[in-house]
Structure 1
């Protein structure tokens, strides 16, 4: 459980994957979905929903769930402390424990297992803080590498290691190739709890929303940064994520396009509550 939910030692497993594959099944287990968090806390048995079901029947699904539990209050709590199951052990020390794991990965595991110069770890942690505090982060790798004082390729290798260790999600736009030395088009921390743990006082709510959506979708779906909007899923669906008053201008004229809105219990037509995407696993 320590490996699965903290990310610690995940790089060791990835480095040894070819050898392990002959003797064991290797898989990645996601942290709690919003659905699992509700079931765990409220002793419920809310079912998993498919993406197609949400897109086609989100109003009736939302009504059934909201009649069972006060989702918006629980959703706000989940974003802050519900992703890693050990949040119940010592709630007051939850963020401290997350920060300990981040330090272990950045200062020890990545330098040892990916051959990254340990002298850069402080600057890389600063990069994590920047991602946590920014609006959805679109990296300028050349400027970042100059600012940090390392080569472009070294920075890209480090970003790849952060992604592999489940500290970040590095998204490419649709149609992009896949390469360890390819610049990400968008950078997110892996989940909203990491954002609050690293920089609780400077959180950008738009980043929180997009981080949650990306985290919940990436487990079972192909996710890219969209050229026209926020996200492009499974090579077909376009999603624009925002607050309850988010308009449809950015998806006008696009097929299979949806608004994902925070702070609403129910949606209408192609406007869907953000929290409902927490029921995908």
Structure 2
């Protein structure tokens, strides 16, 4: 097992504790089996390594980190590795990118059942349905999802500024005070505009100039590699999926005519629906449906958005500003765990609130008949009444 320890030690040396993702404090790390899902580049590996290096204390010597695509697994199984590690006193096993291991679900089940004293923490692509593998893990694994950086985290990561998250109720009832408290530390609009273009993933630490090219690599890796493992994509399928992503990016938020889109991509409607929802699961798209509609994968979405604003800049050099605003707000609401639907009036609806999105001159004309509403306005530092700065929604998580 020496190659695994050498690989682990090299990674641990490069990990610091200056910034931690919001999810770190939400995970119950004592569970026997934990799944951490999220898009590429969101920080899943760093999250696990930080916990291993800085939180395990005396248990650190009993922990082993492996990545499922390591050459070690060319002639060793996950189960055999776990068994050998347990015999040597190991009690914690971190497995990165488990979706790249063919028999992942069956062997995780065998580890859980056969080594009751072993804790397993594994990461996986957002697109992986951990409850639909070859083996039933539904009663064994606790799953957590790691989204990209919020604006609040981006400011902490890049500027070293610490702010507490706020709730949607906080924004609705107290947005002026919250905005003014933030303004005492920073003028948010310049940072917000940078964030919209290249601040969603921690790879921003490698430099703004390198960010969008690296994001393009992330997109290609998700389609060519992750979905190839998970959904058995071949090269021809990957090309069609990328074309689909490009079509949506050109006009997102996209109100799909599924029949016309299927003809344009030369695929059938059933395949088109499957690709759209796979891209949603892989955190490249967000889907919005009208209130009361089901969530069947065979149901036409009302609108399709790119998952985050950075994707728009990676795919289209000059994306539409209005689309960027809506993409940002939907992304932050969904990442907070808020259910969002498409209302008859306004842009977004939560359980008890209608939100209209626009520029600084946006009024409440389109939603004034709603019982409970907010206007999320761009290019303003503070709001008044139901008019709220758009950037403030970046502090929800």
- The TM-score normalised by the length of structure 1 is 0.92
Name which of structure 1's ranges 111-120 and 155-164 shifts more when overlaid on structure 2: 111-120
1:140 is matched with: 257
SS at match of 2:305: strand
Q: Which moved more, 1:261-270 or 1:247-256?
A: 247-256
Is 1:4–2:120 an aligned residue pair?
Answer: no
Among 212, 227, 233, the residue aligned to 2:344: 227
The Cα of 1:188 is off from its aligned counterpart by 0.8
Q: Which residue of 2 aligns with 1:98?
A: 215
* 1:236 aligned partner: 352
Q: Secondary structure at the match of 1:46?
A: coil
Q: Does 1:196 align with 2:230?
A: no
Written as runs of structure 1 = structure 2, the 5 A alignment for 1:24-35 is: 24-35=141-152
Consecutive unaligned residues of structure 2, counting only runs of 5 or more, are: 1-20, 22-35, 42-123
Kindly tell me: are residues 118 and 227 of structure 1, through their superposed partners in 2, closer, same or farther at Cα, counting changes over 3 Å? farther
Contact persistence 2:377–2:387 (CA under 8 A)? yes
Report the CA distance between 1:12 and its aligned residue.
3.6
Q: Give, in whole Å, the separation in 1 of the partners of 2:146 and 2:166.
A: 18
Q: Report the counterpart of residue 364 of structure 2 in structure 1.
A: 248
The alignment status of 1:262 with 2:378, answered yes or no, reads yes
Residue 136 of structure 1 contacts residue 206 of structure 1 at CA under 8 Å; is this kept in 2? no
Q: Hey, what's the Cα distance between the residues in 1 that align with 2:330 and 2:179?
A: 20
Q: Partner residue of 1:218?
A: 334
- Does residue 174 (structure 1) correspond to residue 208 (structure 2)? The answer is no
Say whether the 8 Å CA contact 1:135–1:206 is kept in structure 2.
no
Residue of structure 2 in register with 1:205 after alignment? 321
Contact 1:137–1:187 (CA<8 Å) still a contact in 2? yes
The answer for the alignment partner of 1:61 in structure 2 is: 178
Moved more, 104-113 or 148-157: 104-113
Structure 1 residues 109 and 4, CA gap change in structure 2 (3 angstroms): closer
- Size of the aligned set, in residue pairs, is 279
* Offset of residue 163 of structure 1: 0.3
| Unaligned ranges ≥5, structure 1 | none
**Counterparts of 2:207 and 2:174, CA distance in 1:** 39
| SS of the residue 1:97 aligns to | helix
TM-score calculated relative to the size of structure 2: 0.66
- Bigger RCO of structures 1 and 2 (CA < 8 A, at least 6 apart): 1
Contact 1:139/1:184 (<8 A) preserved? yes
Q: 1:3 to 1:50 in 2, by over 3 A?
A: closer
Q: Distance in 2 between matches of 1:16 and 1:86?
A: 31
Q: Which of structures 1 and 2 has the bigger CA Rg?
A: 2
* Partner deviation per Cα, 1:37-70 (whole Å, 9 max, x = no partner): 1122222221110110100111111111112101
Please say if residues 259 and 272 of structure 1, whose CA atoms lie closer than 8 Å, have aligned partners that are also in contact: yes
Partners of 1:203 and 1:40 in 2: how far apart?
26
